[in-house]
Amino acid sequence: MPGKVIVITSGKGGVGKTTTCANIGAGLANHGYKTVLIDADIGLRNLDVVMGLENRIVFDLVNVVEKTCKIRQALIKDKRFENLYLLPAAQTKEKDAVKPEQMVELCNELRKEYDYILIDCPAGIEQGFKNAVAGAEQAIVVTTPDVSAVRDADRIIGLLQAREIAEPRLIINRLRPEMVRKGDMMDINDVNDILAISLLGIVPDDETIITSTNRGEPAVLDSSSRAGEAFRNIVARIKGEDVPFMSFDFDLGFMDKLKRFIKK
């Protein structure tokens, strides 16, 4: 069976696309799927440091599409995960160093040999976005529960649907249950109602993401990490399992219960 190409995108920068890509990739590889991560953010290479593979880069995405090296030569094998490979972005080239047709060709090549190809899309809706989505058949949209990220996610969803990418799925990242409880952050239903696409996962704001990124180790295998657990659930859903969403209900204090009661 040919592999699936999934683009991970958001519109707005800084919402956690790269972290999401690294964690889902590591999670899929850990389940035995041969997985390639492509960093499509040419000029702003990041997935390599998040993965802890920055010291092993020889060739990059631009070398591959220009055919100055073979795909196999440019793929960096992750030593911690048997089935995980990274195709890094070029750091010294421009976004237009790659054309959408070349991405389609690359994805078609990779499909033959790998189960999952995840593309880390750059922020924005320009050339980099067009390249990243060109070869993908599925899309994951990452947002945080704030007005600017949700607005940009809405725009991206529109663009994805215009490109006939069936059913983009949503990840709500950096949810802070405590703020939601106080009515100071949009909750899952608010974001879900507004964007109206199917929900793939909810990732709580979690300091372990920062510490694991400091080390260059995806949090998805850290059994003590709440965000890691959320990413494990997301991976299971991508595989097609039906996993219930994490519960973020806190034990409410008396005053909060009273407030809720009165609001109803």
Contacts to another protein by CB under 8 A: 146-147, 150-151, 154-155, 158, 180, 182-187, 190, 194, 196, 259, 262-263
Place of tokens 């979690």: 206
Q: Which is nearer to another protein, 77 or 182 (CB)?
A: 182
Query: Residue 199 forms beta bridges with which residues?
Result: 170
Q: Which is nearer to another protein, 32 or 183 (CB)?
A: 183
What minimum distance in Å lies between the beta carbon of 152 and another protein?
A: 10
Q: Which is nearer to another protein, 84 or 185 (CB)?
A: 185
Q: Which is nearer to another protein, 152 or 222 (CB)?
A: 152
What minimum distance in Å lies between the beta carbon of 190 and another protein?
A: 5
Instruction: Please report how the helices 127-134 and 100-113 are oriented relative to each other, as an axis angle in degrees rounded to 10.
Output: 30
| C-alpha span between 224 and 212 (Å, rounded) | 12
Helix residue spans in the chain (DSSP H): 17-30, 47-51, 61-65, 71-74, 100-113, 127-134, 147-162, 177-181, 188-195, 207-215, 226-238, 254-263
What minimum distance in Å lies between the beta carbon of 189 and another protein?
A: 10
Q: Which is nearer to another protein, 137 or 190 (CB)?
A: 190
What minimum distance in Å lies between the beta carbon of 264 and another protein?
A: 10
DSSP assignments along 46-65, one per residue: -HHHHHT-GGG--S-HHHHH
Q: List Cβ neighbours of 58 (8 Å cut-off, separation of 6 or more).
A: 73, 74
Q: Which is nearer to another protein, 110 or 159 (CB)?
A: 159
What minimum distance in Å lies between the beta carbon of 255 and another protein?
A: 8
What minimum distance in Å lies between the beta carbon of 147 and another protein?
A: 5
Q: Which is nearer to another protein, 109 or 256 (CB)?
A: 256
| C-alpha span between 121 and 17 (Å, rounded) | 8
Instruction: Please report how the helices 188-195 and 147-162 are oriented relative to each other, as an axis angle in degrees rounded to 10.
Output: 30
Q: List Cβ neighbours of 179 (8 Å cut-off, separation of 6 or more).
A: 185
What minimum distance in Å lies between the beta carbon of 180 and another protein?
A: 8
| C-alpha span between 30 and 27 (Å, rounded) | 5
